[in-house]
Structure 1
Amino acid sequence: MPGLNLTRDEARTRADLLTVHSYDVTLDLTRGERVFRSTTVVSFDAEQGASTFIDAVTDTVHRVELNGVPLETAEVSDGVRIQLPSLAAANRLVIEADMPYMNTGEGLHRFTDPVDGEVYLYTQFEVPDSRRVFAVFEQPDLKSTFRFTVTAPSHWDVISNSATPEPVQAGADGTDGAAASTWAFEPTPVMSSYVTALIAGPYQSVRSELTSSDGRTIPLGVFARKSLMQYMDAENIFDLTRQGFAFYEEQFGAPYPFEKYDQLFVPEFNAGAMENAGAVTFVETYVFRGRVPDATVERRAITILHELAHMWFGDLVTMRWWNDLWLNESFAEFMSTLAAAEATEFEQAWTTFAILEKGWAYRQDQLPSTHPIVAQINDLEDVQVNFDGITYAKGASVLKQLVAWVGQEEFMQGVRQYFAKHSWKNTELVDLLSELEGSSGRDLKAWSGLWLETAGVNTLRPEIGTDDDGLISAFTIVQTAVEEFPTIRPHRLAVGFYDHDDDGALVRVHRLELDVDGERTEVPDLVGRRRPALVLLNDDDLAYAKIRLDPASLRTSVRHVKDFKDSLPRTLVLASAWDAARDGETPARDYVELVLQNIGAESDSSVVLVLLRQLASTLAFYVNPEDREAMGEAAADSLQELALAAAAGSDAQLQFTRAFSSHARTAPQLDAVAAMLAGDRVPEGLTVDQDLRWELLTSLVTGGRAGAAEIDAELARDSTATGELAAAAARAALPTAEGKEAAWTAIVDATDLPNATQRAMISGFGRVHDRALLEPYVERYFASLRQVWATRTHEIAQQIVVGLYPSLQTTQETLDRTDAFLADLGSEAPSLRRLVLESRDGIVRALRAQAADR
Structure 2
Amino acid sequence: MSSPYQSLHHTEAIARRELLDVEEYDVRLNLASDDQTFGSVTTIRFTSRGGPTFVDLKPVRVNRLTFNGSPLDADLLDRGRLPLETVAGVNELVVDAVMPFRNDGEGLHRSSDPADGKSYVYGMMFMDAAPSVFACFDQPDLKAPYTLHVEAPETWTVIANAPGERTESGSRGSALWEFQRSQPLSTYFVTVVAGPYHVIRDEHDGIPLGLSARASIASALDADADELFTMTKQCFDEFHRLFGIRYPFGDYHQAFVPEFNAGAMENPGCVTFRDPLVFTSRVTRGMRIQRATTLAHEMAHQWFGNIVTPAWWDDLWLNESFAEYMGNRVTADVTEYDDAWVDNAYARRQWGLYADLRPTTHPVAGNGASDASAALQDFDGISYAKGSSILKQLAASLGDEVFFAGAIDHFARHRFGNATMHDLFESWERAGADDLSSFTSNWLRTAGPDTIVLDRAAGVLRRTPPAEHPADRSHTFRVAVATDGKWSTRTLEIDAPQTPFEVGGDAVVLDPYEDSWAVVRPDATTVEHLKTLLPDVEDDALRAGIWNNVRSGFHDAALSPADVVDLVVASPPVESTEDGKRRLGSWLLSDVLPLAPAGSLERVHAAALQKMATTIAGSEHQLAGLRMAISTATDPSLLRSWLAVTPDGIDLDVDLRWRLLVRLAVLGETDPEELLAALDAEPTGHSRVEHMKALVSLPTAEAKAHAWSVFTGALDVPNYELEAAGLGMWRGGQEELLAPYVDRYFDELPDTVAVRSGWVLADATEFFFPVTPLSDSTLDRARALAADESLDLSVRRRLADCADDLARRLATARAYPPA
Bucket of the pairwise TM-score, normalised by the shorter protein: over 0.9
In structure 1, what is the Cα distance between the partners aligned to 2:505 and 2:434?
A: 35
Instruction: Compute the displacement of 1:484 (Å).
Output: 2.8
Q: Is 1:789 equivalent to 2:753 in the alignment?
A: yes
Tell me the alpha carbon deviations over residues 760-802 of structure 1, each in whole angstroms, 9 at most, x when there is no partner.
2222212343222211100100111111134421223222211
Q: Is 1:194 equivalent to 2:172 in the alignment?
A: no
Q: Is 1:619 equivalent to 2:619 in the alignment?
A: no
Query: What is the one-letter code of the residue matched to 2:699?
Result: P
**Where do 5+ consecutive residues of structure 1 fail to align?**
173-178, 212-216, 466-473
* Change beyond 3 A, Cα 1:404–1:86: closer
CA contact (8 A) 1:373 1:390 kept: yes
In structure 1, what is the Cα distance between the partners aligned to 2:472 and 2:572?
A: 35
CA contact (8 A) 2:461 2:499 kept: yes
Query: What is the one-letter code of the residue matched to 2:395?
Result: V
Q: Is 1:837 equivalent to 2:805 in the alignment?
A: no
- The one of 517, 525, 531 equivalent to 2:495 is 517
Which is further off, 535-544 or 654-663?
Answer: 535-544
* Change beyond 3 A, Cα 1:687–1:777: same
- The one of 613, 619, 632 equivalent to 1:650 is 619
Q: Is 1:7 equivalent to 2:1 in the alignment?
A: no
Instruction: Compute the displacement of 1:186 (Å).
Output: 0.9
Query: What is the one-letter code of the residue matched to 1:518?
Result: A
Instruction: Compute the displacement of 1:295 (Å).
Output: 0.8
CA contact (8 A) 2:211 2:255 kept: yes
* Change beyond 3 A, Cα 1:607–1:658: closer
Query: What is the one-letter code of the residue matched to 1:224?
Result: A
Q: Is 1:205 equivalent to 2:199 in the alignment?
A: yes
Instruction: Compute the displacement of 1:706 (Å).
Output: 0.5
* Change beyond 3 A, Cα 1:555–1:607: farther
Please report the RMSD computed on the Cα atoms of aligned residues, expressed in angstroms.
2.2
Tell me the alpha carbon deviations over residues 560-591 of structure 1, each in whole angstroms, 9 at most, x when there is no partner.
12323311122212211221122111211101
In structure 2, what is the Cα distance between the partners aligned to 1:535 and 1:720?
A: 48
Q: Is 1:637 equivalent to 2:606 in the alignment?
A: yes
In structure 1, what is the Cα distance between the partners aligned to 2:153 and 2:613?
A: 52
Query: What is the one-letter code of the residue matched to 1:59?
Result: V
Instruction: Compute the displacement of 1:650 (Å).
Output: 1.1
In structure 2, what is the Cα distance between the partners aligned to 1:496 and 1:409?
A: 30
The aligned counterpart of 1:230 is 219
Instruction: Compute the displacement of 1:634 (Å).
Output: 3.0
Instruction: Compute the displacement of 1:285 (Å).
Output: 0.6
Matches within 5 A, 1:365-514: 365-374=356-365, 375-462=367-454, 476-499=460-483, 506-508=486-488, 510-512=489-491
* Change beyond 3 A, Cα 1:134–1:839: same
Q: Any idea what SS the aligned residue of 1:487 has?
A: coil
Tell me the alpha carbon deviations over residues 284-330 of structure 1, each in whole angstroms, 9 at most, x when there is no partner.
11111111111111111111111111011001110000001111101
Q: Is 1:588 equivalent to 2:552 in the alignment?
A: no
- The one of 642, 653, 663 equivalent to 1:699 is 663
In structure 2, what is the Cα distance between the partners aligned to 1:749 and 1:344?
A: 44
Instruction: Compute the displacement of 1:463 (Å).
Output: 5.2
Q: Is 1:324 equivalent to 2:324 in the alignment?
A: no
In structure 2, what is the Cα distance between the partners aligned to 1:548 and 1:98?
A: 56
The aligned counterpart of 1:35 is 37
The aligned counterpart of 1:302 is 293
Instruction: Compute the displacement of 1:549 (Å).
Output: 4.0
In structure 1, what is the Cα distance between the partners aligned to 2:197 and 2:380?
A: 32
Q: Any idea what SS the aligned residue of 1:742 has?
A: helix
Q: Is 1:578 equivalent to 2:569 in the alignment?
A: no
Q: Any idea what SS the aligned residue of 2:627 has?
A: helix
Instruction: Compute the displacement of 1:749 (Å).
Output: 4.3
Q: Any idea what SS the aligned residue of 1:383 has?
A: helix
CA contact (8 A) 1:319 1:328 kept: yes
CA contact (8 A) 1:248 1:309 kept: yes
* Change beyond 3 A, Cα 1:479–1:309: same
In structure 2, what is the Cα distance between the partners aligned to 1:4 and 1:106?
A: 17
* Change beyond 3 A, Cα 1:134–1:603: closer
Instruction: Compute the displacement of 1:607 (Å).
Output: 12
Q: Is 1:59 equivalent to 2:66 in the alignment?
A: no
CA contact (8 A) 1:60 1:79 kept: no
- The one of 523, 537, 541 equivalent to 1:568 is 541
* Change beyond 3 A, Cα 1:68–1:826: closer
* Change beyond 3 A, Cα 1:670–1:220: same
In structure 2, what is the Cα distance between the partners aligned to 1:407 and 1:659?
A: 42
In structure 1, what is the Cα distance between the partners aligned to 2:610 and 2:348?
A: 30
CA contact (8 A) 1:479 1:488 kept: no
* Change beyond 3 A, Cα 1:205–1:702: same
The aligned counterpart of 1:469 is none
In structure 2, what is the Cα distance between the partners aligned to 1:484 and 1:584?
A: 20
CA contact (8 A) 1:491 1:517 kept: yes
Matches within 5 A, 1:527-566: 531-549=504-522, 553-566=526-539
In structure 2, what is the Cα distance between the partners aligned to 1:127 and 1:632?
A: 42
The aligned counterpart of 1:140 is 140
In structure 1, what is the Cα distance between the partners aligned to 2:216 and 2:664?
A: 29
CA contact (8 A) 1:619 1:631 kept: no
In structure 1, what is the Cα distance between the partners aligned to 2:6 and 2:609?
A: 51
Q: Is 1:846 equivalent to 2:809 in the alignment?
A: yes
CA contact (8 A) 1:580 1:586 kept: yes
Which is further off, 544-553 or 409-418?
Answer: 544-553
Q: Any idea what SS the aligned residue of 2:5 has?
A: helix
Instruction: Compute the displacement of 1:227 (Å).
Output: 0.9
| TM-score of the aligned structures, taking structure 2 as reference length | 0.95
Q: Any idea what SS the aligned residue of 2:368 has?
A: coil
Q: Any idea what SS the aligned residue of 1:726 has?
A: helix
In structure 1, what is the Cα distance between the partners aligned to 2:32 and 2:520?
A: 59
The aligned counterpart of 2:281 is 290
The aligned counterpart of 1:176 is none
The aligned counterpart of 1:356 is 347
Q: Any idea what SS the aligned residue of 1:633 has?
A: helix
* Change beyond 3 A, Cα 1:166–1:833: closer
CA contact (8 A) 1:407 1:440 kept: no
CA contact (8 A) 1:701 1:707 kept: yes
CA contact (8 A) 1:59 1:98 kept: yes
Instruction: Compute the displacement of 1:551 (Å).
Output: 5.8
Which is further off, 834-843 or 811-820?
Answer: 811-820
In structure 2, what is the Cα distance between the partners aligned to 1:391 and 1:548?
A: 23
The aligned counterpart of 2:209 is 220
Query: What is the one-letter code of the residue matched to 2:141?
Result: D
* Change beyond 3 A, Cα 1:551–1:29: closer
CA contact (8 A) 1:404 1:492 kept: no
CA contact (8 A) 1:163 1:260 kept: yes
* Change beyond 3 A, Cα 1:97–1:274: same
Matches within 5 A, 1:122-141: 122-141=122-141
Query: What is the one-letter code of the residue matched to 1:56?
Result: L
In structure 2, what is the Cα distance between the partners aligned to 1:802 and 1:539?
A: 31
The aligned counterpart of 2:691 is 727
Q: Any idea what SS the aligned residue of 1:22 has?
A: strand
* Change beyond 3 A, Cα 1:605–1:273: same
Instruction: Compute the displacement of 1:596 (Å).
Output: 1.9
In structure 2, what is the Cα distance between the partners aligned to 1:749 and 1:605?
A: 32
Instruction: Compute the displacement of 1:521 (Å).
Output: 3.8
Which is further off, 374-383 or 130-139?
Answer: 374-383
In structure 2, what is the Cα distance between the partners aligned to 1:819 and 1:606?
A: 31
CA contact (8 A) 2:410 2:427 kept: yes
Instruction: Compute the displacement of 1:492 (Å).
Output: 2.8
* Change beyond 3 A, Cα 1:165–1:767: same
Q: Any idea what SS the aligned residue of 1:786 has?
A: helix
* Change beyond 3 A, Cα 1:595–1:737: same
Query: What is the one-letter code of the residue matched to 1:160?
Result: A
CA contact (8 A) 1:41 1:92 kept: yes
Which is further off, 401-410 or 356-365?
Answer: 401-410
CA contact (8 A) 1:605 1:651 kept: no
Query: What is the one-letter code of the residue matched to 1:109?
Result: H
| TM-score of the aligned structures, taking structure 1 as reference length | 0.91
